[in-house]
Amino acid sequence: MLNIKNLHAAVEGNAILKGINLNVKAGEVHAIMGPNGSGKSSLASVLAGREAYEVTEGSVDFDGKDLLDMSPEVRAREGLFLAFQYPVEIPGVSNINFLKTAVNEVRAYHGQPPMQAKAFLDMLKSKQKLMEFDANLMNRSLNEGFSGGEKKRNDIFQMAMLEPKLAIMDETDSGLDIDALRIVSAGVNKLRGKDNAFIIITHYQRLLEYIVPDFVHVLYNGRIVKSGTKELALELEEKGYDWLKEDIRLEEPVQ
Amino acid sequence: MTTTTSNTNISFAETLPALFTAQFGNSGWPGRKTALERFQALGGIPTVKTEDWKYTNVVPFFKNGLSIALPETPAITAQQLEATGLLLPDTYRLVLVNGVLQSALSILPPATQVTVARLSEAASQPAYAQYFNKSKKLEEHHFAQLNTALFNDGLFIEVKAKAQVEQPIHIIHLYHNNGNLLVNPRHLWVAQEGSEAKLIESAAAVGTTGTVLVNSVAEAVVTERAQLSHYQLQTGGAGLRFINQTLVEQMGKSLYNNYTFTLSESDLVRNNLNISLDAERTETHLYGFYIAAGSQLVDNHSSVDHRMPHCESNELYRGVMMDKATGVFNGKIFVHEDAQKTNAFQQNNNLVISPSASIYTKPQLEIYADDVKCSHGTTIGQVSEDALFYLKARGIGDAEARNMLVKAFAFDVTAQVKIPAVRKQVEQIASRYLSVATNN
């Protein structure tokens, strides 16, 4: 589904990603871990198409298409979803109108007619139930005055509505209390299927107790330095990241 | 009467004394002559050298042979009125043509609640004697003085003590001319003790040739415990130019809400809104939203004078500048020495969505009391890149995303409108302008 080859990216001339290789297949959940500043969120931003990031080398293939060639909205319409580390508050845009616009723009891209009001509301209701999302939040302005947990849950709810092929979750667990974490995780687990895939970016192993990954990768200094299965996450939890840094320093040629 | 200046090189100010004499002679109400002299003493038509007119050059608008002689009032049909698109459901309706009330087209509120009269026929009303031409800031305004010298007619409204007028009173100003006209409507609105009313103003040109420069003055007095909501819907305006003076005096425990929405085709809209808080425990809300497109100039000048303790004022103005348009905002808050325990807030936010558009904004706060809460702020910017990316990341295209954000910016203000039909009309018109802007 997603094939990242030798991806390099920079912000304002500073290299942030320095050769990422990653292959994600349908039905898989990949966790990307790593210390602060290692490039985890940058990877999410580059994949979603944030303008500040300049890709300097490499390629990303998304279901046979060149992802890097697409605008952020086309990436979304092709089925890529970014759950934000910090979902944005947009006063004056109602949650429900926003969702309706988004759903219909995605449909239009695929040559489908806009959803009828009734069908849209039915879908809204069933997804609200599935995601345990508070219906009262629907009529409010997008994320305005939402708590940190409500914002994250709103993002996951949007994911349920848009049914993406690939969801990238950028530190979705940051700022969540244990209850919110459980609800968000349960939501993600309900959306898991053989046709979609997840990239879970997280600093802590905690989230991975709820969303069990198929693969765990460690990102350090703009590169994936170690890959493994879910046991790797436990090892990281136990030992921290320092031992990896040591290993890498030993492996790298003396300059 | 032919008082049109034919030579377009001669400025209006130079011909004014002759125009005045031809129109009014030397008899009649002496206040006209005094005002004319005051207007001239202030320097006549202000140029950009006058601080309050620094960014708004009105001189060119007074150059093309303006007449002050009103044409015969044409018979406006109900169809023509309907065609303005301004009508609102469930309102009383006062239709004016060039400032003159047209009873046949109007739906008057009950006389037990509200007195409505032509200003020219209101001189015998006690409230007229008490309040007409008495507003404190009249003296400072060039154009208020010009209006006082030249006004022809207008609307006298008195909401009687304790009257609760449920339906809004919709004042529709129609303007008509043959050639270029300066019209000076003059209004006096008094909300008596404990009364409650809503006024909505709209304007349009009907059957005009040339342009009409409207120089209006409305004096509004909100007496003890009265509540007055005042909507200025500047939504029509092709062929019209406006210089508006609204002078409001508030007495104890009164409430005044003003909503000024400029979404028009006019080349020039200048609003002067002056609020004087003359007694304790008043409350004032001023909401404004303006869109300037093409080469329009939209200028909002407001002042709030806190003269007495325990008063609260709150002002929120927002604007969207596009094309080569110019916007001006100037908001003054004066907290006088006696006005302890004042709460005064002011906010002006602007979106400049075209590189050729301009906004000049100046919030001013002058405080002479020491126990007050005041704040003011202004912003100028584009739509937030973070918000834009968030919407795009959900599949919403660039134009639609910008459109949503600009509308959200506007609707934050229009959401303050308490009359659903007004809110709907304003939001529809705003959407139309903003969709054009963001899809270019």
Taking phi over 0 as left and psi of -120 to 50 as alpha, with beta for the rest, A157 belongs to alpha
pLDDT class for A169, splitting at 50, 70, 90? very high
Beta-sheet strand order (sheet of A197-201): A80-83, A166-170, A197-201, A29-33, A215-220, A223-228
My answer on whether B78 and B202 are in the same domain is yes
Among B248, B264, B279, residue at a domain's last position: B279
Six-digit token pair at A148?
Answer: 């940190």
Residues of B in contact with A158 (CB under 8 A): 394
On whether residue B373 sits in a domain, the answer given is no
Which of A88, A151, A162 is most worth mutating to test chain B (most B CB atoms within 10 A of its CB)?
A88
On whether residue B50 sits in a domain, the answer given is yes
Among B247, B279, B311, residue at a domain's last position: B279
Are B291 and B322 within 8 A, CB to CB? yes
pLDDT class for B437, splitting at 50, 70, 90? low
State the average pLDDT for chain B.
92
Considering only CA atoms, which of A75, A77, A68 is closest in space to residue A8?
A: A68
Residues of B in contact with A48 (CB under 8 A): 393
C-alpha to C-alpha distance for B278 and B249, rounded to whole angstroms: 7
Partner-chain residue, chosen from B392, B393, B408, that has the shortest CB–CB distance to A90: B408
C-alpha to C-alpha distance for A45 and A68, rounded to whole angstroms: 12
- Whether A51 and B408 lie within 8 Å, measured CB to CB: no
Q: Is the pLDDT of residue B7 over 70?
A: no
Specify the number of domains making up chain B: 2
- CATH number for the domain spanning A76: value is 3.40.50.300
- Whether A92 and B397 lie within 8 Å, measured CB to CB: no
On whether residue B362 sits in a domain, the answer given is no
pLDDT at residue number B71: 83
Six-digit token pair at A208?
Answer: 């991975």
Of B419 and A249, which is predicted with more confidence? B419
Considering only CA atoms, which of B144, B147, B152 is closest in space to residue B98?
A: B152
Six-digit token pair at A72?
Answer: 């952020």
Which of A41, A50, A53, A73 is most worth mutating to test chain B (most B CB atoms within 10 A of its CB)?
A73
My answer on whether B202 and B71 are in the same domain is yes
My answer on whether B28 and B158 are in the same domain is yes
C-alpha to C-alpha distance for B388 and B393, rounded to whole angstroms: 9
C-alpha to C-alpha distance for B283 and B308, rounded to whole angstroms: 12
Instruction: Give the contacts of B161 (CB within 8 A, at least 6 positions apart).
Output: B192, B193, B194, B195
Domain that holds residue B420: 383-440
- Whether A102 and B408 lie within 8 Å, measured CB to CB: no
Domain that holds residue A144: 2-251
Average pLDDT over residues A60-64: 96
My answer on whether B387 and B275 are in the same domain is no
The pLDDT tens digits of the residues spanning B83-138 come to 999 999 999 999 999 999 999 999 999 999 999 999 999 999 999 999 999 998 99
Among B279, B305, B330, residue at a domain's last position: B279
Residue B208: how many CB atoms within 10 A of its CB?
Answer: 20
Residues of B in contact with A106 (CB under 8 A): 395
Specify the number of domains making up chain A: 1
Residue A245: how many CB atoms within 10 A of its CB?
Answer: 14
Residues of B in contact with A162 (CB under 8 A): 394-395
Q: Is the pLDDT of residue A116 over 50?
A: yes
